[in-house]
A and B are shown apart, each in its own frame.
Chain A
Amino acid sequence: MKIAIVDYDIGNVKSILSAFENQGADVSLTNNKEEILKSDGLVLPGVGAFSHGMKSLESCGLVEVIKEYVISDRPFMGICLGMQMLFEGSEEFGKTTGLGLISGKVVKLPTKDDQNEKLPHVSWNELNRKNIQWTGTILEDVKEGSDMYFVHSFVAQPKDNDNILSTTEYSGHNFCSSVKKGNIYGCQFHPEKSGKIGLKIIRNFIRMCQK
């Protein structure tokens, strides 16, 4: 069983690699097309600006590779910007087209002006369940209300509510904090930075890749 983490020269991939290794996965950091397509599980990390992330994926020639992998219905997990890029597009620094694997768009996190809430949302914050049961997903055995680490200013808005795996409240609004469409998963939070519960989510994903 082999898990690939997409290496496209962006952000902190070392800690994702460490977290998967810590949970006993055979994992590699790669931008090699064959290696990605051969893997039993694929992780798309990412921090920072949407447009920069998409440009980096394009210049590494990985956009089509990721789409091809996802069509094969093997487990896939996008983290933070990696989740946002699954959607059709973003309004960060002008409009940018995303991978379009899940319907919906990426928008600035709504805040209430009068509440003096801040952006970026940098905080530990709680996961709440929406429509989908968590059993059999990456959130299996994670307690509702568990704190995960968030650091972002933008959020994904899936068109279909049934794609929303969890929501999180910030500044009086509930935003989509994780997403599921078949075997495609996305986490707005950082499981690799969310202590022991984050590691459990990674373990759940690894188990999925073993099936």
Chain B
Amino acid sequence: MNKVRIIARIDVKNEFAIKGIHLEGLRKVGNPNEMARNYYNDGIDEIVFMDAVAAYYDRNSLSELIQEACADVFIPITVGGGIRTIDDIKNALKSGADKVAINTRAVKEPAFINQASKIFGSQCIVSSIEAKSIKGGKWEVYTDNGREPTGKDVIEWAKHVEELGAGEIMLTSIDQEGTKKGFDVNLYQSVVRSVSIPVIASGGMGKSDDAVKLIKHANVDAIAIASVLHYKIESVQDIKNILLENQIKVRI
């Protein structure tokens, strides 16, 4: 088994890091660059910046933020929110991002994932999937930061994005997101079993035990953490230590 990557997810609105519950009710929690630097110095493995309102307003505006971050944060940086064109990806990479997370545009035009992965390589293209549970033990794909239902089934969509060439899936549970009530273990189990590309679990962690429980039951490759870090409930080192104590391999 791979070392599980511990990722700090920083959602950004204008120049502020923000946090909501179920991707709504956004509150300012700090300066995104300061937070990224602190997490880096504390041993985080990766940073994800998501423009929380980009898809909604049809824009993306994180390039300055990325440029500043990559001056002193020497770990992988993913940027998402409002990536709509090949030029958007080029700009994100030029600014210093390693990967882009794509959701809304991919749902509207799946071939975009295919085109992007051919040009930039699969490893650069993260398919961001927002999932909401529906009847019958299924989940529906949402777009526009959890605002728009699409009628698509999450498992089918995950398989499809893999075929199209996505290199990773960042799977956010809208039901759990921001609640600190733990991960939707069933969701991750179902998706991990259906695809062979890495899956990043995002949404719901309230304490390290939630991560332990998830990783023991679903073979996710990474966990994206927001509230626990942003509200200083546990530090990066606290989380890694608890995972290690539970025989889960992480980068030390």
Contacts and interface: CB of A to CB of B under 8 A. Distances in A.
Interface of A: 11-15, 18-19, 21-22, 47-49, 52, 81, 93, 116, 118-120, 122-125, 147, 149, 151-153, 190, 192-196, 198-199
Contacts of B251: 124, 147
B75 A14 contact: no
A207 B118 CA distance: 37
B235 interface: no
A151 B197 contact: no
22 contacts: A12-B96, A14-B93, A14-B95, A22-B74, A47-B121, A48-B120, A93-B118, A118-B196, A120-B167, A120-B197, A122-B168, A124-B45, A149-B75, A149-B76, A151-B98, A153-B123, A193-B75, A194-B74, A195-B40, A195-B43, A196-B74, A198-B74
A122 B119 CA distance: 19
B98 A193 contact: yes
Contacts of B120: 11, 47-48
Nearest to A14: B96
A108 B124 CA distance: 17
B61 interface: no
A123 B119 contact: no
Given A47-B121, A48-B119, A119-B197, A12 B75 contact: no
A15 B221 contact: no
Nearest to A196: B74
A48 B198 contact: no
A126 to B, nearest CB: 9
B133 interface: no
Nearest to B219: A116
Interface string B42-67: 01010000000000000000000001
Interface residues of B, number: 37
B93 A12 contact: yes
Contacts of B118: 49, 52, 93
Contacts of B97: 12
Contacts of B40: 195
Given A119-B196, A122-B167, A123-B221, A152 B93 contact: no
A147 B252 contact: yes
A15 B124 contact: no
A52 B124 CA distance: 14
Contacts of A11: 93, 120, 124
Given A149-B76, A194-B74, A15 B98 contact: yes
A194 B95 CA distance: 18
Interface in B85-99: 93-99
Contacts of B119: 48-49, 52
B238 interface: no
A11 B98 CA distance: 8
Nearest to B197: A118
B236 to A, nearest CB: 12
A11 B121 CA distance: 9
B70 A18 contact: yes
Contact of A122 (B70, B93, B198): B198
B94 A14 contact: yes
A193 B196 contact: no
B84 to A, nearest CB: 19
Interface in B1-42: 2-3, 5, 40
B156 interface: no
B97 to A, nearest CB: 7
Interface in B122-140: 122-124
A180 to B, nearest CB: 23
B101 to A, nearest CB: 13
